[in-house]
Every structure is written in structure tokens, then in C-alpha cells.
Structure 1
Amino acid sequence: MLLLHTSDWHIGRSFHGTGLLESQRAVLDQLVATVRERGVDAVLLAGDVYDRALPPADAVRLLDGTLAAIRAAGAQVVMTSGNHDSAVRLGFGGALMAGSGVHLRTDPDRLAEPVLLEGRDGERAAVYGIPYLEPRHLGQAWGVDPHHTPVMREAVRRVREDLDARRADPDAGPLASIVLAHLFAAGGAGSEGERDIGEGEHLDGTGQDPEALVGTLGQVPVSVFDGLDYVALGHLHGRQTMAEYVRYSGSPLPYSFGEWRQEKGGWLVHVADGAVTGVEAVDWPGGRQLAVLAGPIAELLGSAEHAWAEDRWVQVTVTDDERPEKALERLRSRFPHVLVFRHEPAGGRRERERTYAQALREAPSDLALTTGFVHHVRERAATEEEAALLDEALSAARGQEARA
């Protein structure tokens, strides 16, 4: 049996104001091609299917088409909800969809009801889908401390109880245990692309700052999953191995410039004789890639060393002492997809650290004050022509004041 572990599709997400739907379509087409070419039996999608609780219509259409394509390629789907999803909305129609081979696990009360898969050669696996668990609500309902680790331990206890009962059946035969979960595993490497799932309340995309970075309060030790054959994690966007068979697939696309060096894809999980026998990476280089550049503007525009970044989404930092004139316009003449521009002088910003109130007190003349303001705000000194215009405006203002 061959399983494909993926997560964090975030369908409908934008990147610095730029829509990513076509890039998402391209990479999901590559995922479907992997299913078809490798003969995948089931796709495991570990949460954050959508980017927000109320996804736009075109995001819903893309998910619908992708699920249909996966089924047409011969694989079933087991899908859970993440902290970006609305569990209720994502889970709508789950009972009907199960009959077509798309299995939704968005209800915490059903996490111990596995999807029983059988491979082409008779291998069997019990796939348990643990959706994102909100600890404040479930801690009280389950009678455990309202924090991520106790709640996840209780969820896994329920999974083990069901699994042990199934394996105790003398007629059951070998049965591999596969668990999907959406969480921050202790020791995982996060990025600015993930929303914090610390101890703050979070429900249906509300209750926390959506721009917050990943914190530490919500981390769950990997030991919670000891003894399970494979744990398919979602939430962190970098593909990584937490233990031999506890892994993050990462997101199929980079969703922050902090992810620009990551190789994106998923994991192919091999199952035989009731156990996981191997895991291999599969890469999907779909969509426009990212680049992070820094240096003096002349070097950025003139060096052949940066040719590789010309067709990528770019974050660029100009290190000239003064902000170059028309810097962004000039950079886009070579890198048309610049999304983030920064000016950070190589020598630091000692002059910028002076407050405007200090500059006001120290200015020897009105002209020095106004040209100093231009320099302070624009990070580039006023030109001779600009200084002359300011001087002319000041003279006119003084004359008008004298006549008043």
C-alpha cells in the first residue's frame, strides 16, 4: 500500500496582496500526477485545506476539482480540518462523500473512528484523522487540562483504545496504524507563514491575530505518538522529520519569504504486513518560486549573479547609505515580481534613530529644517532642485506672513 502525506494547501491564500490560486492549481496538478504515476492508494491531507474559515468561491471550486481528479487517478482521500479551516463547513457532506472515497474527519468526537484502507495486495491500514483540537473547549468536555498536550494525549488515548480492540481480533490480520494531526510538535522549525496556535482561543479563524508568528505555548511533545506506525502532521510549512515515522509534509507552496529555500512536496509512505516499511520524499516545484536578495542597488541591477531571480517573487533589501531615487521602479525593470522592498543601510540607521523633535531643535534655518524633513522621511537627501523649490516656498510664506 502506498500513501501520500500532504497538508497545508491553504487554498485561497494571497501572498503580499498577490493571489496564488493559479500557482496552487499548478502544484495540485503535480500532486495528482504523482498519485496517478506512482499508484497511490490514499492521499492523507492533514489540515489547513483552506486559508480561512469562509473560503472564496474559486477556492472551493479548486478543491472540488482536485478531489475529483485524485479519485479519478485511483486514490481515496482522508482529510482533516486545521486551525485555518472551519471544521463545520469543511465537514459538510462528509457522510455522503465517504461513499465516494473522500473521508472527512473534522469532528473531535469521531477521531477514534478510522478509515479502513486496503491496498491492491491486501495490506490493511487504519487511518485516524485528528482535526485541529481547540484545547479550551475540549479540555473541559473531556475532563483534562485545557492545554494542547493533555488534549492531544487524550485524543491519542482514544485512538489507541480503538486500535487495540481491532488488533485483538484474532481474525483481523496485520493492521498498520496511521494518524493525521494538526499541531505544533516540540522541536519543529516554524516560519512566519504559520498562524500561532498557542494557548489563546481560536475558533473558525477568529480570536487571534492572523499575523501572529508561531509561538511556543502550544507545542506538543512527539512522544505523545510513541508506538504508532506513522503520524502525518500538518501546520508547520517546512517538510521535516520529527521522529522516524512522525513527519511534517509541509505546505506544497511557500507562503512566506522565510520559506524560500525550502524544497516543497510531500511524503510517500510505504505500508506492508501491517507496518510502515519506508518513507520517501516527493517534490513538486510548481508555481512561481521565491527569491530573497540584498545589496547595493547598482550591484542588484548590474550583476549577472542575480539572473536566477528575474522570474521569481522577490523580497529585496537595498543596502545603500541613502535610499536610491526611484529604487522600486528601477528594481522592477529587472525583477518585475518584486513584492517586498526594504531599505536597510549597510552602516546602520544611526541618523534615522534621531527623532524629528531632535532635528527640529538642531536645525540652523527653516530651509535646513524642511530639507532635513525630506531626508528623514524619504531616507534620501533633497536634491539641489528640490532644495531650491523649498526655499522659494519658504520665501513666499514669509512674504505672505509679513503682509498679513
Structure 2
Amino acid sequence: MKLIHISDLHLGKRINEFSMLDDQRYILEQVVKICVEEHADALLLAGDIYDRPIPPTEAVMMLDWFFNALAAQKIKVCAVSGNHDSMERIAFGAGLMKQSGVYLSTVYDGSTQKVILTDEFGEAQVYLLPFVRPSIVRRALGQEEIESYQDAVFAAVKHMDIDTKKRNILVAHQFVTGAGRCDSEDIVVGGVDNIDASIFEAFDYTALGHIHSPQNIKENVRYCGTLLKYSVSEVGQEKSVTVIEMGKKNDIVIRTIPLIPKHDLRAIHGSYMEVTARTFYQGTATDDYVQITLTDEEDIPDGMQKLRTIYPNLLGLSYDNLRTRTQQTIDFDSKIKKKSEKQLFEELYEKQNNQPMSIEQKQFVEELFTRLQEDKS
């Protein structure tokens, strides 16, 4: 049996003012192609299907296309809702969709939907656990004492009535202690959403979503990561899909297949003259999503607009120089009244930029203050 594990599509996402829909369609087409070429039996989609609970129309249409493309190839889909999704919206139509081999997690009511897959080694049971908070599980299992996320997921798993003699797979969307995070994820202050990986011991494979960096928490407990880079903290990552090949019980092989985005997300560092030199950018994908950090001591006027003539998908511009490296507090001493306006201005400039004004700048300021004095008189 062969399964493809993906998560955190975040359909409809925007990075700064840029819509990612075209990039998401491009990468989903690759996922469908991989599923077909690998002769996958099922796709495991571990939550955060959409980027927000009420997704834009275009995102809904894209998911409809994606599910139809997989169903047309007789590839089953086992999907759960994540913390960015509306559990109720994802569950809508689940009863009808399963007739086409698309299985969606239902609203959690104390029971967990189970999908049965079969091959020459018998049954494999896939449990679909949507993202659950303590309040959701406490309401569904009134007799349980549930205070934390750990309690909630533990109780949900306990009520699955798992047959450990069979192959068991869990699709879930939670934060497991020890996972490395990225800037593009939602962070719960204090880590109160943490759960321990020991909860998943009954499963032969746990397909997790929520964390955007691909990583194993334990040998068969894995975050596959996002299909695309959604923050500069992910620049060094290689995005991929995870392939799970299951033979008989306890016989499992896990590997990854890299993905090639329509536009990569890169970080560029250098002076304005360097990053705008033809020798620097010629032959590179200048239409990638880029975050540029300039090392110039002076801010470049209209820097974003000028840089976008070369890098049209510029996400942001920052500076790495004396001013930004050393933050100084600007204090006003008791002798302030004894200093001229020109002296105060020069001191302010030096405090803000960690360097004195140049001779040309001092001359300009002196002329400026002279004109202001003339205008007053």
C-alpha cells in the first residue's frame, strides 16, 4: 500500500500583498502528477486546507478541482480540518464525497471517522482526527476531565477503539512537543497546545500537519511540512511530499519526493549597488519572491519601487547597517538650551545612525537652517 502525506495547503493565502493562488495551483498539479506516477492508493491531507475559516471563492474552487483530479484517478483522499479551517465547513458534504473516495473529517462529537483501505496484506485503518481544542473534546466527552490539549488528544485517541493487530494510520493536526517551528505558523503563547508524541504509540504511522518544516518527531510520527515556502525563515528548506509504503504489519518505508515551485522564496543581502548590478542578478530567477536586506548606511529613497523594476515580487526591504545593529537611546541633557539647533540636529543624526554627518551633509544643514532663519525674519 502506498500513501502520499501532505498538509498545510493554506489555500487562499497572501504573503504581504501577493496572492499565492497561482503558485498553489502549480504545486498541486505536481502533487496530482506524483500521486499518479507513484500509483498511490490514498492521499493523506493533514489539515489547514484553507488559510482562514471563511476562504475566498477562488480557494474553494481550487480545492474542488484538486479533489476531482484525484478522484478521477481513483486515488482516495483522507483529509482533516486544521486550526485555520472551519471544522463545520470542511465537514460539509462529507457524506456525499465519500462516495467518490474523498473522506473528510466530521465535526468532532466524541467519535473519530475511520476509513478502511485494503491490499494483499488485509485492512489498514485510517483515523481522521480534526484539530481539537480542550473545550471541543470536553463538550463531546462530558464525563472526561479534560483541561489541556494533551488531555484532549489523549481522550480522543482512547475513544478510537484501535485494533492494534491491524495496520493503523492517524491523520491529525496538532503541535507535538519538540517540533521546530517557522515564522509563518500560529504560535500559542506558553506552548499550551503541546502534546506528547507518546499519545501516538498505537499507530503504525501518524501523518501530522500544523508545523511548516518537514521533520520526524519519532520514527513513524512525521510532519511533512508545507508544499510552498510561506516565510523567509523557510528559505533554506526543501519542500516535498512524504511517501509511505506499507507492507504487512510493522513493515513501513518512508521517503520524500522534492517539489519545484513556480516561484522560489529567497533572501538577498548586499548593498544597493551590488543587488542592482546586472552581473549580480543576470541568470537568476528575478521573479522569485524575495526579501532584500541592504547594507547601505543611508536609506535608498523609494527603495522598494526601484528594486521592483528588477525584482517584481519583492516582499519586503530592510537594512543591516550601523544604525540597525546598534539601537541607542536618545537622551536630552541639562545643557540642551546652551546648544544651537544645528548642534542638536548633528547630535540627533549621530545617535540615530551611529556615525557623524559628512562635511557635505553639515554644509546642507547649515544652509537649511540659514534659510529657515531668513524666512522667520
Shorter chain as denominator, the TM-score bin is: 0.7 to 0.9
1:95 equivalent in structure 2: 95
Change (3 A) 1:73 1:298: same
Post-superposition shift, 1:365?
3.0
2:372: which partner in 1? 394
Aligned partners of 2:16 and 2:271: how far apart in 1?
A: 24
Q: Is the 8 A contact 2:106 2:130 kept in 1?
A: yes
Q: Compute the displacement of 1:332 (Å).
A: 3.2
> In structure 2, what is the equivalent of residue 354 of structure 1?
329
Q: Distance in 1 between matches of 2:367 and 2:84?
A: 53
| Distance of 1:57 and 1:360 partners within structure 2 | 63
Q: Which of 288, 291, 316 is equivalent to 1:340? A: 316
Supply the distance in 2 between the matched residues of 1:150 and 1:81 (Cα, whole angstroms).
Answer: 20
Q: How does 1:196-211 map to 2 (within 5 A)?
A: 196-197=187-188
Contact 1:8 1:237 in 2 (8 A): yes
Shift of residue 315, structure 1, vs aligned partner:
1.1
Moved more, 61-70 or 270-279: 270-279
Give CA-to-partner distance per residue, 1:205-235, whole Å, 9 cap, x none.
Answer: xxxxxxxxxx522221111111310000000
Q: What are the residue-to-residue correspondences of 1:324-335 with 2, within 5 Å?
A: 324-335=300-311
Deviations 1:380-403 (CA, angstroms, capped at 9, x unpaired): 96975964774365235422xxxx
Quick one: which of 163, 166, 176 aligns to 2:167? 176
Q: SS of 1:52's equivalent?
A: coil
* Number of the residue aligned with 2:297: 321
Structure 1 pair 35/369, CA: closer, same or farther in 2 (3 Å)? same
- The answer for the alignment partner of 1:66 in structure 2 is 66
The Cα of 1:305 is off from its aligned counterpart by 5.8
* Residue number among 233, 241, 250 corresponding to 2:225 in the alignment: 250
Residue 237 of structure 1 deviates from its aligned partner by 0.4
* Structure 1 position 343, deviation (Å): 1.3
Question: In the TM superposition, what are the counterparts of 1:115-134 in structure 2 within 5 Å?
Answer: 115-119=115-119, 121=120, 123-134=122-133
Cα distance between partner residues in 1 of 2:148 and 2:341:
60
SS of 2:308 mapped into structure 1: helix
Q: CA distance change for structure 1 residues 32 and 366 in 2, over 3 Å: closer, same or farther?
A: same
1:26 corresponds to 2:26: yes
Deviation at 1:286, TM superposition (A): 2.0
Q: How does 1:148-167 map to 2 (within 5 A)?
A: 148-159=149-160, 161-164=161-164, 167=165
Q: In 2, Cα distance between the equivalents of 1:359 and 1:302?
A: 49
Q: Using the alignment, how far apart are the partners of 1:100 and 1:360 within structure 2? A: 81
1:317 alignment partner, SS class: strand
Bigger shift: residues 257-266 or 390-399: 390-399
Q: Tell me which residue corresponds to 1:217.
A: 192
Cα contact 2:342–2:366 (8 A) shared by 1: no
Instruction: Give CA-to-partner distance per residue, 1:108-163, whole Å, 9 cap, x none.
Output: 226433111124x464211001110111342354323321111111111122x243
Cα shift at 1:51: 0.3
TM-superposition CA deviations, 1:274-310 (whole Å, max 9, x none)? 4452111012112311111223333333485665463
Tell me which moved more, 318-327 or 126-135: 318-327
**Retained in 2: the 8 A contact 1:39–1:74?**
no
Does residue 188 (structure 1) correspond to residue 179 (structure 2)? The answer is yes
- SS in structure 2 of the partner of residue 311 of structure 1: coil
Give TM-score, length-normalised by structure 1.
Answer: 0.82
Residues in 2 aligned to 1:135 and 1:390: alpha-carbon distance in whole angstroms:
64
Describe how 1:107-122 pairs up with structure 2 within 5 A. Answer: 107-109=107-109, 111-119=111-119, 121=120
Q: Given residue 331 of structure 1, which amino acid in structure 2 is its aligned partner?
A: L
| Cα RMSD after superposing both structures | 3.0
Structure 2: distance between partners of 1:243 and 1:105: 24
Quick one: structure 1 residues 315 and 157, their matched pair in 2 at CA, closer, same or farther if it must change by over 3 Å?
same
**Deviation for aligned residue 1:78:** 0.8
Greater shift after overlay, 50-59 or 281-290? 281-290
Please give the secondary structure, in 2, of the residue aligned with 1:320: coil
Contact 1:319-1:343 at 8 Å conserved across structures:
yes
| 1:54 pairs with 2:54 | yes
Q: CA, structure 1 residues 364+57, in 2 after alignment: closer, same or farther (shift >3 Å)?
A: same
For the residue of structure 2 that corresponds to 1:95, the secondary structure is: helix
Q: Per the alignment, in what secondary structure is the counterpart of residue 169 of structure 2?
A: strand
Q: How does 1:233-382 map to 2 (within 5 A)?
A: 233-302=208-277, 304=279, 308=284, 310-346=286-322, 349-350=325-326, 353-355=328-330, 361=336, 364-367=339-342
For 1:126 and 1:397, locate their aligned partners in 2 and report how far apart those are by CA, in whole Å: 84
Q: Partners of 2:188 and 2:205 in 1: how far apart?
A: 23
Distance 2:210 2:106 in 1: 15
How far did 1:356 drift? 7.6
Question: In structure 1, how many angstroms separate the alpha carbons of the residues matched to 2:372 and 2:277?
Answer: 40
Give the partner amino acid of 2:158.
R
Distance of 2:335 and 2:83 partners within structure 1 = 49
Report if aligned partners of 1:323, 1:378 keep a CA contact under 8 Å in 2. Answer: no
Shift in Å, 1:348: 5.3
What is the TM-score normalised by the length of structure 2? Answer: 0.88
- Stretches of structure 2 that go unaligned for 5 or more consecutive residues are none
